[in-house]
Chain A
Amino acid sequence: MEIVITEYKHCDLLEITGRIDSYTSPIIEEALDSLLADGHFNIVIDLKNVSYLSSSGMLTLINAQKQCKQHNGGEILLANVSERVLSSLELAGFNQLFELYDDVAMAVGKF
């Protein structure tokens, strides 16, 4: 699993590659915690190259979303969610908790 963080003027982009499961979600949590600690609450997560998302990965995203939304206008947006990952998010009802975008540029442009 790999994470690349790109800083834009009004938000940060996290590009994740690989599986997000109980082994890798702590790495994502650490990356998100680091952004939040630096006061970055506008975040786009690109899931284009994520082959699998477990419930522990979803909880990591949810916990970060809760923290972002506590700050005025802060939010995590998800881009390029595959059909299968979306079906898992829908099963858990988490799709309602994130705005979903078909491409990164649109999501970044939201901020």
Chain B
Amino acid sequence: MVTRSFPGNFRSLAPISNFIVTQAEEAGFSPNDIYAIQTAVDEACANIIDHAYGGENIGTIEINVKEIKNGLQIILRDEGEPFAPDEVPEPDINCPLEIRKERGLGIFFIRKLMDKVVFGFSNTKGNTLTLEKYKGN
């Protein structure tokens, strides 16, 4: 298991992606799966900064990566406001350009690209997002 902590700002997104890509490569994922994992984690971290913390440099993002049977488990922790994924509507990807509402795209990507997504909140430890990706899915 590897744990890293990053400042909760958008400048951290590139080093976070580098870290995740390295871990996914070492776990033996295909390039397409690595891109999917990178996307899901990037979107999750951007959401933490935008929504849980409500801005940059409010708190940190802790990322825990663990190899599991036939895959990778990634746990993201923040100490921001509770996140309620069910309150985020799924975007209508067939909606015409003029009237399309874009909220919820990050969560949509995370759910589509990962095999298991668990949102958790504790009033002492903050938000925990657990993502799992399995090889060959």
Contacts and interface: CB of A to CB of B under 8 A. Distances in A.
A and B: partners? yes
Interface residues of B, number: 28
A22 B97 contact: no
Interface of B: 10-11, 13-14, 17, 31-32, 35, 38-39, 42-43, 46, 49-50, 91, 93-94, 97-98, 100, 102, 105-106, 108-109, 112-113
Contact of B39 (A23, A59, A88, A93): A88
15 contacts: A21-B14, A21-B42, A22-B50, A23-B10, A23-B11, A52-B38, A52-B39, A54-B13, A87-B35, A88-B109, A91-B93, A91-B109, A92-B93, A92-B105, A93-B93
A52 B17 contact: yes
A92 B107 CA distance: 11
Contacts of B38: 52
Contact of A84 (B17, B35, B49, B102): B35
Given A23-B11, A56-B46, A65 B93 contact: no
Contacts of B50: 22
A31 interface: no
Report which residue of B38, B105, B112 has the largest number of chain A beta carbons within 10 angstroms of its beta carbon.
B105
B98 A66 contact: yes
Given A19-B14, A21-B14, A22-B46, A54 B39 contact: yes
A21 B10 contact: yes
A21 B93 contact: no
B108 A92 contact: yes
Given A65-B97, A88-B39, A92-B109, 7 more contacts: A21-B13, A23-B10, A23-B14, A52-B17, A59-B102, A87-B35, A92-B108
A87 B32 CA distance: 9
Interface string A49-71: 00010111011001001100100
A15 to B, nearest CB: 20
Nearest to B9: A23
A54 B97 contact: no
B109 A22 contact: no
Interface centre among A52, A54, A59 (most CB of B within 10 A): A54
Contacts of B39: 52, 54, 88
Contacts of B42: 21, 52, 54
